[in-house]
Amino acid sequence: MTNTTDPLPLQRVMALFAHPDDPEFFAGGTLQKWASEGKSLVYVLVTSGDKGTDDPDMTRERLMAIREAEQRAAAACAGVEKVIFLHYADGELEHTLDLRRDLTRVIRQEKPDIVVTNDPQTYWFRHGAINHPDHRAIGEAALSAIYPSARDRHTFVALWRDEKLEPHKVRQVYLAGTLNPNLKVDITPFMDRKLAAIQEHRSQVRDVEAMIQRQRTNLRDPDFGEESPRYVEQFRVLTLR
């Protein structure tokens, strides 16, 4: 497994996830690292996390506003100013043609070199948790939007003919939450920034200290010693030809 990112000058990055807080939990250190290197980042959240509460008095509209504000604050930790919400219903994502068309549209609009999204093949994690079905759905839809839909002029032809969106070819895909990684990204210098960004999601993080401990445990590289730990985020990287 390689430990360095691709040397090609890929500058435009899209973090394409289902929920507010997914960019930070799944790839926050890597996104912080890329921002420090001068890459341009845009976050696209397909839902606004409107199911993420057990408060019986919370309304969907209030929670959406809270979670969108939290995501913008978390993105600002990496210097990201552009955060796009597609306002699909949380907990109900499916890989439909409508979703694929909307993802194709935003990919053609933003023209990313790299898209970071979820691995749709991950149904559970090694530590025993079940992966959220929205994560699987967004990964599957994102891959189909990247190839072939965003690339092919006559797929969703109205995007080209009526909206004047030219085809776009993504160069690399980083699949997060994968059980089959082929890349480790050393995020040790950015671990504190990742944790700070996660803490902006106050509606979701009830026990900050427990969250920090879980993150440090889960992201510790077992190939390094305990006294000077290294923290890594792992991905399955696809390089498109």
Q: Is the peptide bond before 7 cis (omega within 30 degrees of 0)?
A: no
| Token duo for residue 10 | 């890929």
CA atoms of 115 and 27, how far apart (whole Å): 11
Predicted confidence (pLDDT) at residue 4 exceeds the cutoff of 50: no
Which residues, listed in sequence order, are joined to residue 166 by a DSSP beta bridge? none
Single out the residue of 1, 5, 47 nearest to residue 187, CA to CA.
5
Task: Assess contact for 135 and 118: CB atoms under 8 A.
Answer: yes
Predicted confidence (pLDDT) at residue 3 exceeds the cutoff of 90: no
Quick: pLDDT tens for 113-156. Answer: 999 999 999 999 988 899 999 999 999 999 999 999 999 999 99
Predicted confidence (pLDDT) at residue 232 exceeds the cutoff of 80: yes
Predicted confidence (pLDDT) at residue 193 exceeds the cutoff of 50: yes
5 — pLDDT class (breaks 50, 70, 90): very low
Position 9 scores a pLDDT of 80
Across the range 45-59, mean pLDDT stands at 96
How far from chain centre, in Å, is Cα 207? 23
Longest Cα–Cα distance of the chain, Å, equals 59
Average pLDDT of every residue of the chain: 95
> What is the Cβ-side half-sphere exposure of residue 71, based on CA atoms within 13 angstroms?
29
Position 1 scores a pLDDT of 58
Quick: pLDDT tens for 65-108. Answer: 999 999 999 999 999 999 999 999 999 999 999 999 999 999 99
- Fold adopted by 12-239: Rossmann fold (3.40.50)
Question: Residue 163 has what DSSP assignment?
Answer: T
The CB density around residue 63, as the number of other CB atoms within 10 Å, is 19
Position 8 scores a pLDDT of 58
Question: Residue 194 has what DSSP assignment?
Answer: H
Residue ranges per domain, the chain? 12-239
Q: Tell me the pTM.
A: 0.94
Percent of the chain with pLDDT over 90: 91
Quick: pLDDT tens for 168-187. Answer: 999 999 999 999 999 999 99
Helix (H, G, I), strand (E, B) or coil at 231: strand
6 — pLDDT class (breaks 50, 70, 90): very low
Position 140 scores a pLDDT of 98
Q: Are strands 83-88 and 12-17 parallel, antiparallel or unpaired?
A: unpaired
